[in-house]
Amino acid sequence: MKTFSGKVLFLDRSDINTDEIIPAKYLTEITKEALKPYLLEDLELPGFNPTKDISGKAAVITRANFGCGSSREHAPWALEVNDINVVIAENFARIFRQNMYNCGMMAIELDADIIDGLFKNYAGKDCSLEVNLDTRNITISTDGKQEVISFKIADFDECLVRAGGWVEYADKNY
């Protein structure tokens, strides 16, 4: 199973699409590792600098419809090779969400008001989180402040995370 804990990157916008996560011109790469320098290269977001802000992060917290657009699995791969294995959002585009779990990564959905609270209390600060799949809790903390948020995950998605991805699961079962 992958690691789902570490420092958080906040991306305060809805509808961040897969072209912004990894531009099409890099889809000519045939290894995942080659995508590493280009994650979120085309994302224009006030205060966000991809060359400085991604390094050392292990999780993303964002708004609604993250990962819309192209089916490119290069989007989760670009996150994965940057050691970001979990994205938390109000909701996700279908293909992106499926791609995350198919890779044994996590796309966790939380209510809009909870996401809003996370942005208010933690964005812009040195913030870490830890996802516990057994208890289905996220512990988020910054200097002197900590809270535990429960989340839901479908049994099938949990199986994929524990199996390490869909290829492993499907090969065993079908």
Partner 1 sequence: MGKTIAQKIFESHLVDKPFGDEVNVLRLDAVFCHEITTPIAINDLVARGKDRVFDPSKIKAVIDHVTPAKDSKTAEQGKILRDWARRNGIKDFFDIGRNGVCHAIFPEKGFVRPGYTVIMGDSHTCTHGAFGAFAAGVGSTDLEVGILKGVCTFKEPSTIKFVLNGTLKEGVYAKDLILFLIKELTVNGATNMVMEFTGPVIDAMTMESRMTLCNMAIEAGGTCGICYPDQVTVDYLWPFIQDDFATKEAALAEYSKWKSDADAEYAEVRTYDVSELEPMVTFGYKPDQVKPVREMQGTPVQQIYIGSCTNGRIEDLRIAAGILKGKKISDNVRGIVSPATPKIFSQALEEGIIKIFQDAGFCVTNPTCGACLGMSNGVLASGEACASTTNRNFNGRMGKGGTVHLMSPASAAAAAITGEITNSPLYKA
Using CB under 8 A, which of 8, 99, 118, 149 touches partner 1?
Answer: 99
Distance between CA atoms of 119 and 125, rounded to whole angstroms?
10
Minimum distance of partner 1 from residue 38's CB (angstroms) = 12
Nearer to partner 1 by C-beta: 101 or 122? 101
**How far apart are CB 71 and partner 1 at their closest, in Å?**
4
Alpha carbon distance 38, 82 (integer Å): 10
Q: Which is nearer to partner 1, 71 or 142 (CB)?
A: 71
Q: Which is nearer to partner 1, 21 or 129 (CB)?
A: 21
In whole angstroms, give the CA distance from residue 103 to residue 83. 13
Residue type at 170 in one-letter notation? A
Buried b (16+ CB within 10 A) or exposed e, 18-55: bbbbbbeebeebeeeeebbebbbbebebeebebeeebe
Q: Is 103 in the site for partner 1 (CB under 8 A)?
A: yes
Residue with tokens 């199996």: 163
Tally Cβ neighbours within 10 Å of residue 131: 25
Q: Is 50 in the site for partner 1 (CB under 8 A)?
A: no
Q: Torsions phi, psi of 141, nearest 5?
A: -150, 150
Minimum Å gap between C-beta 141 and partner 1 is: 30
Closer residue to partner 1 (CB): 44 or 113 = 44
Binding site for partner 1 (CB under 8 A): 14-15, 17, 19-20, 23-25, 27-30, 32, 42, 44, 64-65, 68-73, 76, 91-95, 98-99, 102-103, 154-156, 159, 165-167, 170-171, 173-174
